[in-house]
Amino acid sequence: MRCTVIGAGVCGLSCAVRLLEAGWAVEVIAEKFSPETVSDRAAAVWYPFLVAPVDRAEVWGMASYSVFSELSASEPEAGVIMRTGREYLREPVESPGWHSAITHFRLLEPSELPDEYVHGWEFEVPVIEMPRYMAWLQLRCESLGGTLTQRRINSLDDAGGDARINCSGLGAQELADDDDLHPVRGQVLYLDQTPEVGHFDQQPETLAHVIPRSDCTVLGGTVQANDANESPSEDDTELILAKCTAMWPGLDITRITGVAVGLRPARSTVRLELEPGEQPLIHNYGHGGGGVTLSWGCADEVVALLSAAT
């Protein structure tokens, strides 16, 4: 049986890998491949953020957590590394639902909080180094026999095969005629300096992160709904530096090496559902700020839906 996956971001490639493992012949069709996708811009830390519905996102997220932590131990070339991070909050809130399911989680002492923060926790989660990870994922897909075709399609009917998986990210605005889907702009900076641990303020209004990678540290961010401007902004750069310095006073702003912008494909809820028919179609898009975090869990559900439908 042949399946066409539309989209070569993290969601499309993860689905392609799981479908190939399940015995499907898979062609991935995409207008853009790595390093040109939104997925390549992701910071990327495992952390369910700006994504709904929360209950399904936690299930998809935990499935992905297991895969990423396994990859960190078994496949160094995948670029997944378990890191310690600290989340800071301006008001006390309950610990996230997934706190007891990850390898390390503890509440921070007041002495460990930066000024202006009153609560927080330390956790160990996968950091997915996207430039390396996307290259690895693409190679994994090809080594399992998947084919990659660079082509823009104007309609989902243009995709052949016995089944189709729509992982077109923001492209689904047009392809699925989806008014709920919209861009949420994010800007990040790259820094040639390493913090001891990652630092996070993951509230959408104040979003800030300092994420150590093996080749740089990624500083962020911005959460600008319905802003599709892909050019970096000086104002945003200053804002990001101010927010990150507040969490990490040792940050040396003279060591910034680059800047990038990506448009998160956001939606009121992730759309993961089957449109039955002679050529079944499964939509898997709208992952907002958590597409990497949810990628493997969603891919597993896509394969389960497709198996049940064929």
Ligand X SMILES: Cc1cc2nc3c(=O)[nH]c(=O)nc-3n(C[C@H](O)[C@H](O)[C@H](O)COP(=O)(O)OP(=O)(O)OC[C@H]3O[C@@H](n4cnc5c(N)ncnc54)[C@H](O)[C@@H]3O)c2cc1C
Applying CB under 6 A, the residues found at the interface with ligand X are 6-12, 29-32, 37-39, 41-45, 152-153, 167-171, 175, 186, 188, 220-221, 262, 264-265, 285, 287-293
Q: Residue 120 or 220: which CB sits closer to ligand X? A: 220
Cα(167)–Cα(283) distance, integer angstroms = 7
Q: Residue 290 or 297: which CB sits closer to ligand X? A: 290
**DSSP-derived secondary structure letter, 45:** B
Sequence-ordered list of residues with C-beta below 8 angstroms from that of 3, at least 6 positions apart, any chain: 19, 24, 25, 26, 27, 161, 162, 163, 164, 165, 306
Q: Answer whether 110's CB lies under 8 Å from 123's CB.
A: no
Q: Residue 118 or 228: which CB sits closer to ligand X? A: 228
Instruction: Give the shortest CB-8-to-ligand X separation in angstroms.
Output: 4
Q: Residue 118 or 242: which CB sits closer to ligand X? A: 242
Instruction: Give the shortest CB-57-to-ligand X separation in angstroms.
Output: 10
Q: Residue 118 or 134: which CB sits closer to ligand X? A: 134
Instruction: Give the shortest CB-275-to-ligand X separation in angstroms.
Output: 17
Q: Residue 168 or 237: which CB sits closer to ligand X? A: 168
Beta strands in the chain (DSSP E): 2-6, 25-30, 80-89, 105-107, 119-128, 147-150, 163-166, 182-191, 198-201, 208-212, 217-220, 224-225, 256-266, 271-275, 281-285
Instruction: Give the shortest CB-149-to-ligand X separation in angstroms.
Output: 9
Sequence-ordered list of residues with C-beta below 8 angstroms from that of 76, at least 6 positions apart, any chain: none
Instruction: Give the shortest CB-50-to-ligand X separation in angstroms.
Output: 8
What DSSP string runs through 228-295? ---S--HHHHHHHHHHHHHH-TT--GGGEEEEEEEEEEE-SS-EEEEE-SSS-EEEEE--GGGHHHHH
Q: How many residues does the chain have?
A: 310
- Burial (CB < 10 A; 0-12, 13-18, 19+), residue 214, is exposed
Instruction: Give the shortest CB-39-to-ligand X separation in angstroms.
Output: 3
Amino acid found at 309: A
Q: Residue 175 or 281: which CB sits closer to ligand X? A: 175
- Burial (CB < 10 A; 0-12, 13-18, 19+), residue 106, is exposed
Q: Residue 11 or 210: which CB sits closer to ligand X? A: 11
Instruction: Give the shortest CB-53-to-ligand X separation in angstroms.
Output: 15
Instruction: Give the shortest CB-30-to-ligand X separation in angstroms.
Output: 4
Structure tokens at 120: 């927080």
Instruction: Give the shortest CB-230-to-ligand X separation in angstroms.
Output: 10
Q: Residue 88 or 110: which CB sits closer to ligand X? A: 88
- Backbone torsion region of residue 23, taken as left when φ is above 0, otherwise alpha when ψ lies between -120 and 50, otherwise beta: left
